[in-house]
Structure 1
């Protein structure tokens, strides 16, 4: 259950990052509320996962999901560069997160 919570925390982290971009573009109170809800939920699920998972592992995977997911969403939704080198490094981040899961 802790691993599932950690993945959900990472997904909420990605949502929070999207809301930062949305808030930057339209400055609405709805974007601000969604930003706080996204990051708040992310921290709650991360805290739950850290009850049983080691802090370093949980934090590394959480940030890996958020960072790589944010980069992928930027490519898909906002036309950011899809250069092969960028994709290789995103894959390396995800590979490291999977590696931490396998050894934990």
Structure 2
């Protein structure tokens, strides 16, 4: 279950960043509320995953999911540019996450 909790934590991180963008610097209350709730859920599920997984592995994967996923959300929902260099480095993050999973 630790890996499931870690995936849920990563999804929560992505969701929190999505709503943080929509909150316009916490000026819009509803998206700000959802950002805080998703962030709290992300930390909660991360803490559950840390009961079984090494902290370095869990944190690395959590931040990797959050980083790569948030970049992809920006590309798909906020019309951010998907340059070759950007996609290359997202691929590097994903490869690192896979590598951490394989050695754990």
TM range, smaller chain: over 0.9
Inter-partner Cα distance in structure 1 for 2:29 and 2:80: 26
Q: Which residue of 2 aligns with 1:19?
A: 19
Q: Does 1:77 align with 2:77?
A: yes
The Cα offsets for residues 66-97 of structure 1, whole Å up to 9 and x where unpaired, read as: 01100000000111111111101001101100
Q: Which runs of 5+ in 2 are unaligned?
A: none
Inter-partner Cα distance in structure 2 for 1:58 and 1:43: 12
Structure showing the higher helix proportion among its residues = 1
Q: Which residue of 2 aligns with 1:36?
A: 36
Q: Which residue of 1 aligns with 2:7?
A: 7
Inter-partner Cα distance in structure 1 for 2:100 and 2:26: 38
Inter-partner Cα distance in structure 2 for 1:82 and 1:31: 25
TM-score, normalised to structure 1's length? 0.96
Which range moved further: 25-34 or 84-93?
25-34
Q: Which residue of 1 aligns with 2:93?
A: 93
* Alpha-carbon shift at residue 32 of structure 1 (Å): 1.6
Q: Which residue of 2 aligns with 1:58?
A: 58
- State the number of aligned residues: 104
TM-score, normalised to structure 2's length? 0.96
Which range moved further: 26-35 or 75-84?
26-35
SS of 1:27's partner is coil
Contact in 1 for aligned 2:6/2:58 (Cα 8 Å): yes
